[in-house]
Amino acid sequence: MERNYRLVVFDWDGTLMDSAGAIVACMQAAARDLGLEPPDDTTARQVIGLGLRDALSRALPGAPASEHNRIAERYRHHYLSQDHELSLFAGAYELVAELREVGFLLGVATGKSRLGLNRALDSTGLADFFHATRCADECNSKPAPDMLFELMYELDAEPERTLMIGDTTHDLQMARNAGVRSLGVGFGAHSREELAREDPLALFDRLSDLREWLRQHG
């Protein structure tokens, strides 16, 4: 039986990797390093998934543009000092491995930098499972559709047979802007209620439920 979808694209932080809390803490630490008022947890979580410069400028709207580079540098300092301690969500490795084994094309569309994603792929052992990946320093930031457009072009996948999976409204809005259907996971950066307003095909609180949905409907 032909599958409904040919290409499955994952966001990374908050979808496959349990890193949203660390990202929030690093944004706050970067602000404090420069004597700025750090964003609260809710504000910081709202910008997860965007490219770093875009995320920091939204999380710290009062910071002068002249400080943006220094804030980004301090964020990277804090994040890179601990990213080796971060781990995948339970079941994430097995989910990706199963999808690859049964023949799906797999991609990543992430707000991480290329250097950051490569480090994460290598440390988690997932590098060989993905056919193509796109990062925020290679494309326009979410919710622009560019990452998905490029992945679909590279892997010769039609929008109607592509599925985006993410934990933020930025992910689901990117999918809609690219003419792609989406699934949301409610254990990452944005709340289930926020994700539901973007009209994904389904929402999941556990990766095991996502895995079962893909087995039945993918």
Q: Which residues are catalytic?
A: 11, 13
Burial 51-83 (b: 16+ CB within 10 A, else e): bbbbbbbebbeebeeebeeebbebbbebbeeeb
Identity of the amino acid at 38: P
Q: In 10 A of CB 174, how many CB atoms?
A: 28
Of 121, 105, 124, give the one whose Cα is nearest residue 113: 121
Q: What is the DSSP letter of 134?
A: E
Report yes or no: 18 and 189 within 8 Å, Cβ to Cβ. no
Of 48, 34, 7, give the one whose Cα is nearest residue 195: 48
